[in-house]
A and B are shown apart, each in its own frame.
Chain A
Amino acid sequence: MTQTIVIARYNPELDEKPHQETYQVQSDDNTSVLDALQQVQQQDPSFSFRWSCRMAICGSCGVMVNGVPKLGCQTFLRDYPVGLVITPLSNFAVEKDLIVNMEPFLEHLSAIKPWLINTAEGTQPHVQTPKQLAKYQQFANCINCGLCYSACPQFGLNPEFRGPAALALAHRYNLDSRDQGKAQRMPELNAKNGVWTCTFVGFCSEVCPKKVDPAAAINQGKVESAKDMIVSAFKPTGAR
């Protein structure tokens, strides 16, 4: 059958601001938003958007569908009988059509030192029990799609906020039994754009396509941050 979809278009070389256009696409029970976008690109080769794996693991194809952040490949036209309006991910600068500027996201991610910090040398694996793995595993499943940043009202107000994915990733490493870098990450979490900027709206966790639950990570991060700040208050400066 034929379905109508509305897409936000913007060409910075021609348009003053984004506008909406209507397209007809062929759809059946299996047609995803990504499939529909590809059909539109066939009709108009100048239409640009990001995609790659089409199986919800590469994190490229995040868009707003009727105002809600979604992965295009994991969202199906069958669930929108009254129609769809597809716009670029909110809270990011629009570059062209559905392509947004992901650089701020990458900067936030890098800022929290998202790598295992452990000075010990060794040629064998660390011991890590399934229970220790389970403590952080969920937070290691983030695909960096950025949907949570589009869902986050605080990030919308303050782009300096490290944001849900970065803070969840910091928490992931802090919880890893092999990691010794928590003390190095806490200043960033304690700082003005760290965990305390979050007002626990929780929409980030609702839209997460991988059930990472960044809101829980940030909340747990607040507990850690509070402990860290209390401990710091009783330590002479420069003790760490």
Chain B
Amino acid sequence: MLQLDMDIIVVGGGGAGLRAAIAAAEASPTLDVALVSKVYPMRSHTVAAEGGAAAVTLSEDSLQSHFFDTVAGSDWLAEQDVVEYFVQHAYQELVQLERWGCPWSRKNDGSVQVRRFGGMKTERTWFAADKTGFHILHTLFQTSLKYPAIERFDEYFVLDLLVVEQRVAGVLAIRYSTGELVQIRAKSVILATGGAGRVFHYNTNSGIVTGDGMALALRHGVALRDMEFVQYHPTGLPGSGILITEACRGEGGILLNKDGYRYLQDYGLGPETPLGEPRNKCMELGPRDRLSQAFWQQQKLGLTGDYQGHAVVYLDLRHLGDKHLKERLPLICELARDYVNVDPAKAPIPVRPAVHYTMGGVMTNIDCQTSIQGLFAIGECASVGLHGANRLGSNSLSELLVFGKVAGERAAAMALQNDFVSHQSIAEQTARQQALLSVLQGHNTDDSLVAIRTAMTKAMEEGCGIYRDADSMQYCLDHLISLKQRYQALKVEDQGKVYNNALLQHLELGFGLDVAMAICSSALARKESRGAHQRLDEGMTTRNDTEFLQHSLAVQQQDGSIDIRWQAVTITSLPPAQRLYGDCGAVNEGKTS
């Protein structure tokens, strides 16, 4: 076993992790920062974000308006002090990226261009064509190369946190290329491992989005907050789930059912806006939860179309014209051509909702600190409290920058104050993991990793989908419990050390099962409908602020089961109100602001 000491460990090399590593390196260049990632940083899932990053930019826009949109978008489950901090700091972070070279799209006068996005009252989404996440990730990665303090551990898979008396002491990782166990001691650790979309069957997420960091924290007693809120993006490609960005609708794209009817006007998002004149917070620019729910309703009514056995609606971009599409949505043109054989300038793209984002995550305070001293969490794996019950598109890219910086700075401050724990105090934990790994390999007779994983993702799709009820969720949870038992008997069939992919998939599945149980248990406990969590059970189909204006906290018990606790929501200036879009929303906003 290899033993190393680093002042700070950042787990995850996506946008949040890179931003945190840079912030830590800038805060104190004498500190060693380990950037530990299971893939090369530029492979991280941030790369797949398309549409853009939000910050108040135009003179007619205001911080208050971004705050209102985010809190209303969250169905009042966001931490309002966190939202305030976020909207105040988002602009400076996007400028910082600009000054590091991010190729933001521009207006003719050379200033930064902003586009419309769902649920946002004013254009405030910065973009780099439709490859915003790609450009953010590569800008951060390339910028990180100039800091000698940042040492990368590419293709190292973290399998456990080292924790001594409620204080983080480092991590245990496997070096993928050699199979070697590596113990890294550290004074602070930042989790930036991304979401858990892959516990569902149909999703927009990369294969690596398996909930690792969430499970790492959960297993050490840290609560996962608001896990029942899973975002279905309304426009994924049928079958693959590949993301077709909301920016398509920001640019003026419309959604049609099989009869060519703009069905969103029937679901509180109307009236219908004229073609080529998109209106903020109306119709196709409503929030994602509402749009995905409208799809489900249309499917029930038999009004969706069919694409190779998948129910679909149609995203029509034809009126935008070939030139505009190539300039603003070049990736979408490529994806539509390659994966569904459609030229968006000539035909509508078949789309359907697919799991996209986990609103919940490792519970942290506004400083990104978890309940374990020295352990921070940021980005999609965290719940700092920004998104509540539904995230607005383009808030998450800004989030990972704003809170990545916070966590990097706090972790650096903590590392300067603290010392390493003794080797002795972590020897037992290390030995236990070593022992667990040593008995993993062997042959399976009548079970397989793929069988268990597929059963999990299908169970989650059926039990914890766009609409939920007690029976289907209970069935899902029971199923997950039995899958976990099967998992515990499962062996890793590859006996090798070098690049043992089967071992990594095995460990990822273990993480995924724990996170899936947290999602399902939280969903069962929330007996109301709010944001992305919609129940069909009698008496639970509407929002119930009297009982559930609270965060759910999923805490893992000794036996692996999940206990649900509740936490009050921080409300600073915007008391709960009805959440309205379309014309009704405009009237409502007039009253509140």
Contact = CB atoms under 8 A, between A and B. Distances in A.
Contacts of B494: 45-46, 48
Interface stretch (B67-75, B82-90, B103-111, B182-190): B103-111
Contacts of A99: 499
Contacts of A126: 98-99
A201 interface: no
Given A115-B143, A127-B111, A55 B48 contact: yes
Nearest to B338: A74
A202 interface: no
Interface stretch (B156-164, B237-245, B359-367, B542-550): B237-245
Interface in A73-99: 74, 95-97, 99
A178 B103 CA distance: 10
Given A55-B243, A58-B43, A123-B92, A115 B496 contact: no
B43 A30 contact: no
A42 B450 contact: yes
A137 B40 contact: no
A237 interface: no
B131 interface: yes
> What does DSSP make chain B's interface, helix, strand, loop or mixed?
loop
B500 interface: yes
20 contacts: A11-B498, A41-B501, A46-B496, A46-B502, A50-B43, A52-B43, A53-B45, A53-B206, A53-B207, A56-B335, A58-B48, A59-B42, A59-B43, A74-B338, A99-B499, A115-B146, A125-B112, A136-B103, A144-B42, A144-B138
A129 B106 contact: yes
Contacts, number: 151
B100 interface: yes
A95 B177 contact: yes
Interface string B490-510: 001111111111100000000
Interface string A109-135: 110011110100011111111101100
Nearest to B243: A55
A124 B95 contact: yes
A115 B101 contact: yes
B142 interface: yes
Interface string B36-49: 00011011110110
B101 to A, nearest CB: 3
Given A30-B339, A116-B143, A137-B103, 13 more contacts: A13-B496, A13-B497, A49-B501, A54-B240, A54-B242, A57-B331, A58-B43, A102-B40, A124-B95, A128-B110, A130-B107, A143-B47, A144-B42
A179 B42 contact: no
Nearest to B103: A140
Nearest to A118: B99
B31 interface: no
Candidate in A12, A54, A74, A109 with the most chain B CB atoms within 10 angstroms? A54
Interface in B92-149: 92, 95, 98-101, 103-112, 131, 134-135, 138, 142-143, 145-146
